[in-house]
Structure 1
Amino acid sequence: MKNIGLMPGKITVPESRTLEEFLKLRYIEESPAWEYINGEAIQKPMGGAKHSLLQKRLVAVIDGLGSNYEAFPELRCTCGNRSVVPDVVVISTNQLPLDESGEIISSGIDFAPAWVIEILSPAQSQTKVTGNILHCLKNGSQLGWLIDPSERCILVYQPNSLPDLLAGKDILPVLEDLNLTLSVDEVFFCLVTSEKLIQQNSEFRSQNSEVKQALYLALRRIVVYFNKLKSAVLFL
């Protein structure tokens, strides 16, 4: 037996189990979610603010195209004896798994998505994340992005070709049916904007504090002056 989780002793699972056994576990949809890789249950690390912002913006941009594809954050993908939860997956609307009432099922998909996007977090192993993307490509995915916020670059994976490292004004490949032109800089623009807003807000607070202090000192001088004036009048 071994411990797997963010806190020692939180959850104990056998060292090996089948994919079918893993999918029956109650805790695998906890946040952050659990993945099944090479016979082991592994919990993803928590992403953080930059990770969440990139994830949210990418989903909004892709869904805003009005295409026959939909983007999903944290959707479980189970195929080829592996169950992973990519940060963003893009799948065709005619592939959406629906229940009897016509609503999308909550257990995820049992095929590789057309496009898989992973956002590298500081606590993540790039090798493991790359392995998940390559696994999806081997099982039918057309495109994979590995976004590295710290380096401001994106590794692009496509079937039957070497990975491509893109940065700056490089235009990113997308699915053929999507009318989307996006550079690496544009992907990270939301982070730059947010960082500037945080910096400006901090500077404003600092300046505001200085103004308050100056006003306070000025008022004190006025009070002292009027007290002296009052004393002088009394002695007249």
Structure 2
Amino acid sequence: MTVTAIRPITIDEFLQLPETKPASEFINGQITQKTMPQGEHSQLQIDLCETINQIAKPQKIAKAFPELRCVFGGLAIVPEIAIFRWERIPRLPSGRIANRFEIYPDWAIEILSPDQKYKQVLGKLLHCAEHGSELGWLLDAEDESILVVDSDRRVKEFTYSDRLPVLTGIDLELTVEQVFSWLSL
């Protein structure tokens, strides 16, 4: 769902608006409300977050955050999962985690919903790569494939038993089949 303002607004004005559920994003001057996640989407999101955090968090390498607004490069996006290297996680002077993340994620994961357009979701991952993200994944549960965007904005499709690239320093081996096997309970 796209909400059109009577007059164009700035990203600062967008950030002052009340939160919506599901979250809204600010992309290319447009406010777009994210699609409400459904079963497959939620299952993939939670299992990916748990899997990444089980390996990366105890060693203080990185942390995966679900549905976290990231503001950078003139956009405000909410990837399904935003992974930040430990030392880049915004913190308050007290050491507590900050509420606002005004930086790009090191690794962004998007999960395509049935009513979303590939171009729009892939565009967010390309924006992340353009502004410093090392890696992006776009999961398509319908055809059980994962598009991977690298830091040079190259896009490659991974399927079946292909081993997926992960953020450097995270000792995690996953294949496309393993990721989509989580959909079977």
Q: TM-score, normalised by structure 1?
A: 0.73
Q: How many residues align?
A: 181
2:144 alignment partner AA:
R
Q: Which runs of 5+ in 2 are unaligned?
A: none
Question: Is residue 121 from structure 1 mapped to residue 116 from structure 2 by the alignment?
Answer: no
Question: Is residue 144 from structure 1 mapped to residue 136 from structure 2 by the alignment?
Answer: yes
Counterparts of 1:171-190 in structure 2, within 5 Å, are: 171-190=163-182
1:54 alignment partner AA:
L
Question: Is residue 131 from structure 1 mapped to residue 123 from structure 2 by the alignment?
Answer: yes
Q: TM-score, normalised by structure 2?
A: 0.93
Q: Could you say which structure has the larger radius of gyration?
A: 1
1:26 alignment partner AA:
P
Q: CA RMSD in A?
A: 1.4
- Structure number with higher helix proportion: 1
Q: Which runs of 5+ in 1 are unaligned?
A: 5-11, 195-236
Residue 158 of structure 2 aligns to a residue in which SS? strand
Contact 1:59 1:71 in 2 (8 A): yes
Q: 1:26 maps to which residue?
A: 18
Provide, for residues 190-221 of structure 1, a one-character-per-residue CA deviation record: whole Å limited to 9, x for no partner.
102x2xxxxxxxxxxxxxxxxxxxxxxxxxxx
Provide, for residues 68-110 of structure 1, a one-character-per-residue CA deviation record: whole Å limited to 9, x for no partner.
1000001111111011000001101111112243321223x11
Contact 2:129 2:136 in 1 (8 A): yes
1:91 alignment partner AA:
F
Counterparts of 1:11-90 in structure 2, within 5 Å, are: 13-27=5-19, 30-65=20-55, 66-67=58-59, 68-90=61-83
- Structure number with higher strand proportion: 2
Q: 2:160 maps to which residue?
A: 168
More relative contact order, 1 or 2 (CA 8 Å, 6+ apart): 2
Distance 1:85 1:161, change over 3 A: closer
Take 2:183 and 2:169, find their aligned partners in 1: how far apart are those partners?
A: 27
